[in-house]
Structure 1
Amino acid sequence: MSNIKHSIVSNNGAGTTHQVHSAALKSLPRDMIALSDYSAEQIAGLIESAADFKHKAKYEGQAFHPDQPLKGKTIGLIFSKRSTRTRVASETSAAYLGGHALFLGKDDIQLGVNETLRDSAQVISSMVDGIFARVGPHSDITTLAKYSSVPVINALCEENHPTQILADLLTIWEVFGKRRPNARGILDVFRGLRLAWVGDANNIAFEIMTTMPKCGISVNMCSPAGYPIPEYVRNLAATGAQTTDAEVKYFSDPIEAVNGADIIVTDTWVSMGQEDEKAQRIRDFAGYQVSKEMAQKGNANKDWIFMHCLPRKAEEVTDDVFYSDRSVVFQEAENRKWTTIATFNALLGKKSN
């Protein structure tokens, strides 16, 4: 095995990046529903900002943002689905920026139960300065955004998970930026990389497909027969790939899918609300467990890394991959905080920042 460990950003040192794309942050959409609404330059600007926050907080001792861009502001955290990483990241991000996070769980408010989403959006947005919402159907997040008077950030819905993919991109930059020291910026680091997705056709897969090709990362998408990628996602992926000469390929055989991969990614095979389908899904995903043997048989690139948004189950990836030097899953999880800080600062903070 090559010396992968030394190319991964560790907890005792981190790189910084020049703010090449900071100007792009001045023209962001009001809301963050999906990264398909953002340009590659805007996404790169958010990654640069997140990397800067991480470096200052972890390696320069900046415990709080000195300008407190969210001072006096409240972010409503609407969570219809439970979470670990998203909740911790959002509450600590608000605190770092000087704001207040108001957690509103499914048992705390009447979201879509005794009150319509439209009414809830109007009421809640009249009392907070931003909404960070983790919901079920995609229509829930778009309805909140439509009727909210303040910015709405998608913390997860059935079709998208933009803050997760921002964290993934920050992690990819941290790893491959150190391997490509002559790259001129984040997008230059991404250009030419290949990511293999081996798993369910779910919201993470959709967000990867509609984001990474336009940032220069080719995607090998692999899911079993009966778990198709929607046509609109395929179209967005193809359009993004045309702008960067990245490739988007589709597979049902994981061994074929990991060929030439720099990054191998999977996720849960059974998402929240699909528990009744578990037995059938386990059968359908037979052969999809990410392993060293899969990467070797498929001829993944020598220094491939493994990513997973967590929580992980044993059938999805072997222990000798998940806990190996190839795995950046805990770095990836931590980066949820830094990219959430960057997103809150850009969309909800003082515009002078």
Structure 2
Amino acid sequence: MTTKTLKHMLTLEELTPTDLDELIQLALDVKHDPSAYGKTLTGKKVALLFEKASTRTRMSFEVGVVELGGYPLFLSGNDLQIGRGEPITDTIRVMSRYVDALMIRTYAHGTVETLAEVGSIPIINGLTDTHHPCQVLADLLTIEETFGSRQGKVLTYIGDGNNMAHSLMLGGALSGMHVRIASPDGYTVDETIYNKSVALAEATGGSVTLYTDPAIATVGADIVYTDVFASMGQESEAEERLHRFATFQVDGALMAKANETAIFLHCLPAHRGEEVAADVIDGPQSLVFDQAENRLHAQKALMITLLA
């Protein structure tokens, strides 16, 4: 496997299209025969550091480490000395002496970059304000399961040009998918990440296109995806964002513009009546809970690749 050379998972840019294919296939194998991998991480200790609250990330990683035979060590940023000003560089040097890998869910993406540069253990980005690669691995696994292939599929993301949009652009481009991002003016994606995604897509036969009209972006889509309008740390902007994103709700009328076989995805948590209508997220096209389960299987595949 070429992924044996994988050292960290920070953005998805660490992967080639072949690496990604191998990870998705491994995730499918792990999901279908979990007992075959039950001792893969025997003796391995994985630190799980949370500076941001979490439901799915914490549970899926903690359960995943246990199911692979390893030992998860939950850490809260408030409980460590970094909460009192210890440099993150000192913290990771110490961690590198104690554990075999670190998964961190934090704010600034520069934090995970520093950890990877200074530490001597694999670093997994469980979420930053800029990227959410583990979620997108689960998303791509869900798409692969549903359609049998990711190549050529049209994924329309409706909403804020946030960490989810960034990682979907990168993961979709690596998969040879056609990614459409529809955001209001002033809330579009990072230009540098967009340009990187376009370059990746050119090499895989995919594409990445930006829209300001969600209706146009959704026509003919195979996957319709959305996220909350105000992410953690943006609570003060929530009211303004609700106003600016008022026409970006994924409802039945918008889903009708997608293909008849289209699926609806959401990284959760969801706010019914805001970014998505209840009859969509709770309807027959929604795979959000399959998608949430796949966090477990995709992340187990990632940890096997990094640590086994």
TM-score range, shorter chain: over 0.9
Instruction: Tell me, yes or no, if the aligned pair for 1:134 and 1:157 is still in contact at 8 Å.
Output: yes
**Deviation readout 1:274-305 (Å, 9 max, x if unpaired):** 11111101011011110111132xx3112111
- Please tell me whether Structure 1 or Structure 2 has the larger radius of gyration of its CA atoms: 1
Q: Cα RMSD over matched residues?
A: 1.2
Instruction: Tell me, yes or no, if the aligned pair for 1:262 and 1:303 is still in contact at 8 Å.
Output: yes
**Are residues 1:104 and 2:62 paired?**
no
Write the letter of the residue equivalent to 1:321: V
In 1, the alpha carbon distance for the partners of 2:44 and 2:210 equals 45
The Cα shift of 1:112 comes to 5.6
Write the letter of the residue equivalent to 2:275: E
**Deviation readout 1:243-286 (Å, 9 max, x if unpaired):** 12212211111111101100000001111111111110101101
Runs of 4+ more than 4 Å apart: none
**Deviation readout 1:172-214 (Å, 9 max, x if unpaired):** 011001xxxxxxxxxxx21211000101110010011112122
Q: What is the aligned counterpart of 2:54 among 79, 83, 91?
A: 83
Write the letter of the residue equivalent to 2:258: A
Secondary structure of 1:92's counterpart equals helix
In 2, the alpha carbon distance for the partners of 1:266 and 1:211 equals 16
What is the total number of aligned residue pairs between the two structures? 307
- Alignment correspondent of 1:40: 17
**Are residues 1:336 and 2:295 paired?**
yes
- Alignment correspondent of 1:238: 198
Instruction: Tell me, yes or no, if the aligned pair for 2:137 and 2:171 is still in contact at 8 Å.
Output: no
- Alignment correspondent of 1:49: 26
Q: What is the aligned counterpart of 1:160 among 131, 137, 140?
A: 131
- Alignment correspondent of 2:230: 270
Ranges in structure 2 where 5+ consecutive residues have no aligned partner: none
- Alignment correspondent of 2:267: 309
- Alignment correspondent of 2:307: 348
Instruction: Tell me, yes or no, if the aligned pair for 1:289 and 1:318 is still in contact at 8 Å.
Output: yes
- Alignment correspondent of 1:119: 90
Instruction: Tell me, yes or no, if the aligned pair for 2:46 and 2:72 is still in contact at 8 Å.
Output: yes
- Alignment correspondent of 1:25: 3
In 2, the alpha carbon distance for the partners of 1:274 and 1:201 equals 13
In 1, the alpha carbon distance for the partners of 2:83 and 2:164 equals 25
**Deviation readout 1:108-151 (Å, 9 max, x if unpaired):** 11226320111111111211111011110011111111111111
In 1, the alpha carbon distance for the partners of 2:151 and 2:62 equals 33
Of Structure 1 and Structure 2, the greater helix share is in 2
Instruction: Tell me, yes or no, if the aligned pair for 2:154 and 2:221 is still in contact at 8 Å.
Output: yes
Write the letter of the residue equivalent to 1:145: A
Write the letter of the residue equivalent to 1:55: H
**Are residues 1:229 and 2:200 paired?**
no
Write the letter of the residue equivalent to 2:44: K
- Alignment correspondent of 1:257: 217
Q: What is the aligned counterpart of 1:65 among 37, 51, 54?
A: 37
In 1, the alpha carbon distance for the partners of 2:260 and 2:285 equals 11
- Alignment correspondent of 1:145: 116
In 2, the alpha carbon distance for the partners of 1:36 and 1:246 equals 16
Q: What is the aligned counterpart of 1:133 among 99, 104, 108?
A: 104
Secondary structure of 1:313's counterpart equals coil
- TM (norm. structure 1) is 0.85
Moved more, 33-42 or 328-337: 33-42
**Are residues 1:74 and 2:34 paired?**
no
Aligned pair in 2 of structure 1 residues 113, 228: CA closer, same or farther (>3 Å)?
Answer: farther
- Alignment correspondent of 1:184: none
Instruction: Tell me, yes or no, if the aligned pair for 1:211 and 1:240 is still in contact at 8 Å.
Output: no
Identity %: 40
In 2, the alpha carbon distance for the partners of 1:265 and 1:332 equals 11
